[in-house]
């Protein structure tokens, strides 16, 4: 478990990036920090592995105060994946993945064998092993970034907008891949994004942040979607817009669920609720709340993948241990 206990961060220029933030993140689950630019997401993430030191408060990992741990050792046992992969341009894929294990004095043959294994784990063809990052697509680079984050077999994986700079289709693939991986690996993942659809798709728990790292709402996607804590949250998750603004329409004796864009989102089962309802990003069935999709849903002509926002944010300077 990762525990933030009254954490604040004021940067030397006076910016209060995080103001008295307390939260417990359960082990072996994905917690997503989502919020608009400048809400403190990255600062919170980087305080976990001491890339940023808090001004006050404590962060505990399994009851151990990270302030008591050597920062370099700490960083080498926590995986870190960021936007633009952070790969070293002059090193091959294999070398990039094996870098931190080698720094941890894992024997070379073992580190390379493990790197090859990880390429397979993240769905990278072995033929890419000796390529340089510039010879890979953005999506492939991100897969290498994830493999590198997993290379030391960390219990904790920090992911800072890892899929922010790839196109929507590849992004979707990477998201699905992460969910598949997580089923196998069961890491404690802290994932930062500004994309609410991504947050609801990936997060077992979602923390919606407002400026200064203020928690606007924390809960499961279902809890947030079914009961936004404030107008700010409702607005942020777009509860009244687009695909989440659902209404019911009778057609040929069936009750269709129609989203705000006019698309058929599904067909209601006989015993389900009436009136407007909200659903999630559509990535996990449990986010569909009370709605039962009939067999017709699969045939609905407008079933589409959730929209994704792939607007890049400024981040990601390639380094090994202390990116950015
Ligand atoms: N090194 C720094 N020095 C001064 N201010 C900083 C520094 N790093 C971040 N900040 C400020 O702290 C606040 C929170 O920044 P942070 O990067 O954590 O936000 P974020 O939610 O991750 O934003 P984004 O989505 O744009 O990455 C912002 O106002 C930012 O300008």
ipTM of the prediction = 0.96
State whether residue 255 is helix, strand or coil: strand
Q: Which residue has the higher pLDDT, 323 or 241?
A: 241
CB 242 within 8 A of CB 259: yes
DSSP 222: H
44 domain-assigned:
yes
Report the distance separating Cα 106 and Cα 92, nearest Å: 18
140 with 255, same domain: the answer is no
Give the tens place of pLDDT for each residue, 181-214.
Answer: 999 999 999 999 999 999 999 999 999 999 999 9
- Give the CA-trace dihedral at 53, 55, 57, 60, to 10 degrees: 0
160 strand-pairing partners? 82, 192
DSSP 53: -
- Which numbered atom of ligand 1 lies nearest the CA of 40? 18
User: What are the two backbone dihedrals, phi and then psi, of residue 65, each rounded to the nearest 5 degrees?
Assistant: -75, 120
Q: Is 46 in the pocket of ligand 1 (CB under 6 A)?
A: no
Cβ-based neighbour number of residue 218 at 10 Å: 18
Look at residues 201, 226, 251 and tell me which one is the last residue of a structural domain: 226
Distance from Cα 319 to the centre of ligand 1, integer Å:
19
Give the tens place of pLDDT for each residue, 111-161.
Answer: 999 999 999 988 899 999 999 999 999 889 999 999 999 998 899 999 999
Distance from Cα 41 to the centre of ligand 1, integer Å:
8
314 domain-assigned:
no
Name the residue with the closest Cα to ligand 1, atom 31: 38
Tell me the two tokens of residue 120. 């397979």
Tell me the two tokens of residue 218. 């924390």
124 with 26, same domain: the answer is yes
222 with 252, same domain: the answer is no
CB 53 within 8 A of CB 7: no
Q: Is 55 in the pocket of ligand 1 (CB under 6 A)?
A: no
193 with 284, same domain: the answer is no
Report the number of distinct structural domains present in the chain: 2
- Which numbered atom of ligand 1 lies nearest the CA of 13? 4
User: What are the two backbone dihedrals, phi and then psi, of residue 103, each rounded to the nearest 5 degrees?
Assistant: -60, -30
321 domain-assigned:
no
Look at residues 175, 194, 226 and tell me which one is the last residue of a structural domain: 226
106 with 13, same domain: the answer is yes
pLDDT at 250: 80
Distance from Cα 8 to the centre of ligand 1, integer Å:
13
Residue 259 is part of which domain span? Answer: 242-293
Give the tens place of pLDDT for each residue, 252-267.
Answer: 888 777 776 677 777 7
Q: Is 287 in the pocket of ligand 1 (CB under 6 A)?
A: no
């Amino acid at each position: 478990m990762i525990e933030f206990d009254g954490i604040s961060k004021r940067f030397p220029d006076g910016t209060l990036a995080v103001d008295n933030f307390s939260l417990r993140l359960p082990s072996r689950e994905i917690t997503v920090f989502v919020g608009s630019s400048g809400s403190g997401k990255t600062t919170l993430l980087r305080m976990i592995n001491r890339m940023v030191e808090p001004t006050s408060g404590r962060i505990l990992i399994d009851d151990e105060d990270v302030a008591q741990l050597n920062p370099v050792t700490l960083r080498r046992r926590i995986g870190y994946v960021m936007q633009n992969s952070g790969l070293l341009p002059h090193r091959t894929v294999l070398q990039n993945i094996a870098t931190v294990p080698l720094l941890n004095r894992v024997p070379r043959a073992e580190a390379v064998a493990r790197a090859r294994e990880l390429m397979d784990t993240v769905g990278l063809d072995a033929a890419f092993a000796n390529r340089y990052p510039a010879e890979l697509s953005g999506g492939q680079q991100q897969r290498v970034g994830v493999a590198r984050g997993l290379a030391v077999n960390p219990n904790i994986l920090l992911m800072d907008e890892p899929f922010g700079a790839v196109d929507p289709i590849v992004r979707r693939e990477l998201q699905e891949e992460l969910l598949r991986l997580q089923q196998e690996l069961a890491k404690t993942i802290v994932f930062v994004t500004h994309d609410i659809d991504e947050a609801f798709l990936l997060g077992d728990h979602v923390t919606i942040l407002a400026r200064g790292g203020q928690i606007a709402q924390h809960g499961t996607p279902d809890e947030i979607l079914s009961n936004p804590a404030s107008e700010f949250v409702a607005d942020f998750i777009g509860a009244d817009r687009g695909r989440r603004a659902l209404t019911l329409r009778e057609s040929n004796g069936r009750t269709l669920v129609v989203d705000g864009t006019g698309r058929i989102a599904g067909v209601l089962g006989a015993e389900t609720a009436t009136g407007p309802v909200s659903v999630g990003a559509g990535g996990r069935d449990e986010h569909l709340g009370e709605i039962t999709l009939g067999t017709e849903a699969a045939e609905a002509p407008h079933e589409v993948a959730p929209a994704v926002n792939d607007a890049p944010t400024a981040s990601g300077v390639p380094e090994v241990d202390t990116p950015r």
